[in-house]
Chains A and B, each alone.
Chain A
Amino acid sequence: MMSCRFTQRYQEVDVSNKLTQEEKATYEWQIWEPDFGEEGQEKLKNSAALVSRVGGLGSPVAYALAAAGIGKIVLAHGGNIKNSDLNRQILMTHDQLDKPRVECAKRRLLELNPALEVEAIPENVTEENAADLVGKVDVVFDCAPLFQERYAMNKACVEQGKPLVDAAMYSMEGRVTIIIPGETPCFACIYPEFPEGWKREFPVFGAVAAIAGNIAVCEGIKILAGFGTILAGYMLQYNARNMEFKKLKLKKNDSCPVCGDL
């Protein structure tokens, strides 16, 4: 069945770390999910995710991953907390203004889940560090504001065959798609050219960003645990102004300079 093509877990994880009794109690309500169970929880525990920037999208992504019991999160985000971050970057707190974002995010994640391993890298993704960062994890969440970061992350994921969950937002809208290298269109297939006139500061509510972030984590959990049907090759687009949600089928570019040879 075609729809099952992407439902297998993409990266094999060594599930050598078994669940403790305390973890079985903590995650009881999601272990009750029949498609997931203790086996799914064990896969999450033994998995690592990269979250590129813990801003409006990446904060709810990292928080939901921590709550779900993923084993390790690598956070990559430079800079210090500003007042104008606080409406949407929900891992940032007022008492940490002017202090590093990744450190605040790490503290908040560990308050929620002390068993979580957090690697906090005070840098944004670049062409230089993308391959290294992607190499540390099983799945990547792209939540970055700059298209340069997104293209660099896409290239590293395609080269390493790692699944990429791409989340984006603007105004009252958001989008999520999954890139499975060699199977789906990649980010450069979807947007072959850098957007002209893109402004990196734009209107948005934290709640609108968090919709995309939480959809992204639903997809990540399914990728890691291997169940359900993911948004591979489809762009989910929502408009919170009228609550219109739609899925658009994306097209691969056979001459894509990034994934055309796969």
Chain B
Amino acid sequence: MNIKISYYGQSRQLAGKGDEQLDAEDNVTANAVLKILSEKYGEAFSTLVLSDEGVLRKSILLSVNDEITDPNQTLSDNDELSLYPALSGG
């Protein structure tokens, strides 16, 4: 099935793009998709997004179809997963 991923904040910079489509297995969880992306984009991306236990860090908001959710959520075809790492000022 097809999953759309949208990157915000630092995740956009580390992925080098704002969004993309991913072909994923049926009933995949959001966290499993994040693991696939972490392998694809390497250490800096992985460190930003995943904890040492391989779970989405709590400094990042995750939404599916613009609803904030937790990484255990099972995804459906054409779902849009978005990552919003905490931002600050300066």
CB within 8 Å of B: which residues of A? 53, 55-58, 88, 142-147, 150, 167-171, 173-175, 190-198, 200-204, 209, 235, 237, 239, 241-242, 246, 248-251
Which of B59, B60, B85 has the most chain A CB atoms inside 10 A of its CB?
B59
Distance in angstroms from B37 CB to nearest chain A CB is 16
Q: Which of B59, B67, B89 contacts A191 (CB 8 A)?
A: B59
Given contacts A192-B58, A195-B59, contact A53 B89 (CB under 8 A): yes
Question: Digit string of B27-40 for contact with A (CB within 8 Å is 1, else 0)?
Answer: 00000000000000
- How many angstroms from the CA of A31 to the CA of B1 in the assembled complex? 55
Which residues in B have their C-beta under 8 angstroms from that of A150? 88
Closest 9 CB pairs of A and B: A168-B87, A195-B59, A145-B90, A193-B58, A192-B58, A170-B87, A57-B89, A143-B89, A191-B86
Distance in angstroms from B51 CB to nearest chain A CB is 8
- How many angstroms from the CA of A144 to the CA of B61 in the assembled complex? 20
- Pair B87/A173 contact, Cβ less than 8 Å: yes
Distance in angstroms from A179 CB to nearest chain B CB is 14
- Pair B66/A239 contact, Cβ less than 8 Å: no
Q: Give me 4 other A-B pairs in contact (C-beta within 8 A), A175-B87, A191-B59 excluded.
A: A168-B89, A190-B86, A193-B59, A198-B86
- Pair B84/A249 contact, Cβ less than 8 Å: no
Which residue on B lies nearest to A188, using beta carbons? Answer: B58
- How many angstroms from the CA of A170 to the CA of B60 in the assembled complex? 14
Which of A58, A192, A193, A250 has the most chain B CB atoms inside 10 A of its CB?
A193
Which residues in A have their C-beta under 8 angstroms from that of B89? 53, 55-58, 142-145, 167-169, 209
Which residue on A lies nearest to B59, using beta carbons? Answer: A195
Which residues in A have their C-beta under 8 angstroms from that of B84? 175, 235, 237, 248
Chain A's interface: helix, strand, loop or mixed, by majority?
loop
- How many angstroms from the CA of A191 to the CA of B44 in the assembled complex? 20
- How many angstroms from the CA of A197 to the CA of B18 in the assembled complex? 20
Which residues in A have their C-beta under 8 angstroms from that of B61? 190-191, 235, 248
Given contacts A191-B58, A237-B84, A248-B63, contact A170 B9 (CB under 8 A): yes
Q: What are some 20 contacts across the A-B interface (CB < 8 A)?
A: A55-B89, A58-B89, A142-B89, A145-B90, A150-B88, A167-B89, A168-B87, A175-B87, A193-B58, A195-B48, A196-B48, A196-B57, A197-B10, A198-B86, A200-B88, A202-B90, A203-B13, A235-B61, A248-B63, A248-B84
- Pair B87/A174 contact, Cβ less than 8 Å: yes
B47 at the interface (CB under 8 A from A): yes
- How many angstroms from the CA of A32 to the CA of B44 in the assembled complex? 52
B12 at the interface (CB under 8 A from A): yes
Which residues in A have their C-beta under 8 angstroms from that of B63? 248
- How many angstroms from the CA of A23 to the CA of B76 in the assembled complex? 58
